[in-house]
Amino acid sequence: MDGLWIFENMIGLEDSDAGLGMDLVSSTVWVLTLLLTKAIEKNGENLGERAAGLLGKVTTKIGQKLSTDSMQRLIEQPEQLLLNPGAIAEVEAVFKDSPAVIRDIQDLSAAVQRDLSLVVAIEQLVQKHQNNPAMQQIAQQLKSLKWELNHPPTPIADLSFPSGVVRLGSRFYVAHAELQSKCEQAISQPSGLLRIQAPAQMGKTSCLERLVVYAEGLNYRVVRIDLQLVDRKVLQDLDQLLQWLCRQVCRQLNQQVDVTDCWSTKYGSKVNCTDFLEHYILNQSPQPLLLCLDNWEGIFSCPDIFEDFLSLLRFWHDQKREPWSKLRMVLLHVWYKEISHIKGSPFNVGQVAYLPELTTLQVQYLIDLYGLNWQDRQVAGLMNLVGGHPHLIRLALHEVAQENIILQTLLATADREDSLYGNHLQLHFLYLTQQPDLKRLMAKIVRSDQPVFISSVLLGQLKDCGLIKYHGDEVAPANQLYRSYFRKRL
């Protein structure tokens, strides 16, 4: 049952060296014992072959340790064993000496059907230990668990898995009206330049989709280029990259021009590209041109070309004469690498739009859309875990609304490799392992329960990736999910 994950995760039974007090271990063991026994009683016939095998394995291990009298009591009236210190000690020995039993029970719990009566039975047991702080915590978790089971999601018809761009017209897109207005104003200006910066999966491309619609409404020509589509070989050579860029522009604008024929060996790549855009693109129409360049990170990783490429964009922006005033640019990126010549970068001019996290009100709006009947404590629980990260919020709401998981289980298991957030966390972990200095810095941050002061130029990169947040001059993990996951692995 989902509730079992909550108790195991919160109290940490797997760690036999955790220094848990005897009263805490005793109470916890009997919460699990009652759950297992009731699962056998109520759901045994419904378990699949694998779960049935696990059930036999677990009960056999417990049976090997328990006396006949204790085993009989366990089967008949598990709650009575709370009054039998000898039997408690016997079962404690099973969990202490056989960590595999805990893992088996976890596997078994996934196969047991959700059953409100099991939650109620556990709650009755917990009430006998109300003076124990750990039991008080469990009681609060049970309260939330009961609420969820008593208030299932309201089915909605148009649920689609939250992945990639939020389609135009989707009611699940949460707009930041003031920010959107700022972006629209930026590209409305002659030679306008806009940077949209945010960590991965925060909604940069979804924001751009709406901006493109706005530009098309102003009769702009629009070219959208994703720089992660550039072959690595092309990225290593500025001349090839700029020719590739010109061909992409021609293709999207249906301009029948052979770029190779227009490329002169007498001039450098930047002059060729500038002349091409001026004569064959900008001069061909009175309409403004919106050039959108997404996923800059590949460019930043190529030191042989990125300074020249950035300085070229800055040159285009600085040209106030016709026809260059018709060119407006939008740059989308997670982080950026500043070039040594301050005046030569497009990242020092124009407007910057930093996409924020969702507010509590915006998260509540999504919760209502997903048909979830949550109270404030459920909303707070999810936001304490992932903050207002749009993708992580929507992923959780979608899975809960589909009844693939309950919130309490998600909160208890979120930092595991096989959790709902496993892929997201593993991508961040891979990024850190490829950069040892960042990895060591992140490890130092997550080991502290409080914000810490650290002096390092690398902090900006961790912040840009969404892994940390500033608290004045101090830093901390961006959310509890990152703290818990990386504390175990770095």
CATH of 423-489, one of 1.10.3470, 1.10.10, 1.10.3430, 1.10.1220: 1.10.10
pLDDT of residue 304: 80
Query: By the 8 A CB rule, do 221 and 250 touch?
Result: no
Cis peptide before 155 (omega within 30 of 0): no
CB atoms within 10 A of CB 129: 21
Rounded Cα distance between 117 and 103, Å, is 24
Confidence of residue 458 (pLDDT cuts 50, 70, 90): confident
**Nearest 10 degrees: Cα torsion 481, 486, 488, 490:** 180
Q: Give mean pLDDT, residues 85-96.
A: 58
CATH number for the 177-354 domain, one of 3.20.20.220, 3.20.20.70, 3.40.50.1950, 3.40.50.300? Answer: 3.40.50.300
Region 443-468: mean pLDDT is 91
pLDDT-based confidence at 483, cuts 50/70/90?
very high
pLDDT at 104: 58
pTM beyond 0.85: the answer is: no
Residue 474: per-residue pLDDT:
92
What's the pLDDT tens digit per position in 122-172? 555 555 555 655 556 556 666 666 666 667 777 676 677 777 788 888 888
The pLDDT tens digits for 250-280 are 999 999 889 988 898 888 899 999 999 999 9
pLDDT value at position 160?
Answer: 74
The whole-angstrom separation of Cα 175 and Cα 187 is: 18
User: Which band of pLDDT confidence, cut at 50, 70 and 90, is reported for residue 438?
Assistant: very high
Three-class secondary structure of residue 266 per DSSP: coil
Residues 322 and 285: their CA atoms lie apart, in Å, by 12
Which pLDDT score is estimated for 321?
A: 86
pLDDT at 274: 95
Alpha-carbon distances, residue 96 vs 17, 152, 156 (angstroms): 9, 37, 46
95 in Cβ contact with 13 (< 8 Å): yes
| pLDDT score at 26 | 43
pLDDT score of 11: 35
**CA pair distance 458, 304, nearest whole angstrom:** 22
In this prediction, residue 169 carries a pLDDT of 82
Q: Structural domain boundaries of the chain?
A: 2-150, 177-354, 358-413, 423-489
Please report which helix (H) or strand (E) contains residue 157, including its range: none
| 8 A C-beta contact, residue 113 and residue 43 | yes
Q: What is the pLDDT of residues 289-342, one digit of tens each?
A: 999 999 888 888 787 888 889 989 999 999 988 899 999 999 999 877 665 455
Contacts of 277 (CB under 8 A, 6+ apart): 246, 249, 316, 327
Which residue in 227, 466, 230, 238 sits closest to 330, CA to CA?
A: 227
Residue 388 has pLDDT above 80, yes or no: yes
Q: What angle do CA 149, 131, 32 make, to 5 degrees?
A: 45
- Per-residue pLDDT at 387: 94
Q: Are residues 407 and 382 in contact, defined by beta-carbon separation less than 8 angstroms?
A: yes
Confidence of residue 57 (pLDDT cuts 50, 70, 90): low
Check residue 421 and give its pLDDT: 94
